[in-house]
Amino acid sequence: MTAGDLATLLVSLVTFAAFVVLLVAVLSVLRTLRELRRTLDHLRAEALPAVAELRDTAVEAGLEVERIDELLTTAESIAATVEGASRLGYLAFRRPMIGLIALLRGIGRGLWRLVGGTRGRRGGRPRSTSHPRQPPGPPADLRDRRRGRGRAA
């Protein structure tokens, strides 16, 4: 056997080994592709009904939103009607109620004077020494401090 024959034999063995490795790799890729196809079929079988159900749910949710929108519009209309009726009632009964209260208060004052009530001016509360609308002034020691006559703080 010559060196050329030996080289040819070695190249043939390496080529055969490379062919076997390539064949094993191709078979592995084919097996993986088959498994991937099965997984995709399984996924498609489960996902399509779920997507259809999701679509139905979204349509139902849209219908519910429309229904709730109509309910809110109706509630707003009712609230506006009640507010208008309340305002109308207030405007209609305000003056008669004020008149009735004034009349009852006048009757009460008159009766008080008839039975000899000793209240102050016009049958009202007794007079106070300070003006009723002005709050009392600050304490004396604070006034003195402001004027510079009191103790230093």
DSSP 134: S
Give 122-136 pLDDT, tens digit per residue. 555 555 555 555 555
Which whole number is the average pLDDT over 73-83?
94
Secondary structure element (H or E) that encloses residue 38, with its range: helix 3-114
Question: Residue 1 — very low, low, confident or very high, per pLDDT cuts 50/70/90?
Answer: confident
Is the distance from CB of 120 to CB of 129 less than 8 angstroms?
no
Per-residue confidence (pLDDT) for residue 153, from 0 to 100: 44
Length of the chain: 153
DSSP 116: T
Distance between CA atoms of residues 6 and 8, nearest Å: 5
Per-residue confidence (pLDDT) for residue 129, from 0 to 100: 53
Residue written as token pair 């208060």: 105
Question: Residue 152 — very low, low, confident or very high, per pLDDT cuts 50/70/90?
Answer: low
Per-residue confidence (pLDDT) for residue 65, from 0 to 100: 95
Mean pLDDT of the residues in the chain: 84
Beta-carbon contacts of residue 146 (< 8 Å; ≥ 6 apart): 138
Per-residue confidence (pLDDT) for residue 130, from 0 to 100: 52
121: Cα separation from own chain's centroid: 57
Give 24-66 pLDDT, tens digit per residue. 999 999 999 999 999 999 999 999 999 999 999 999 999 999 9
Tokens of 148: 């510079």
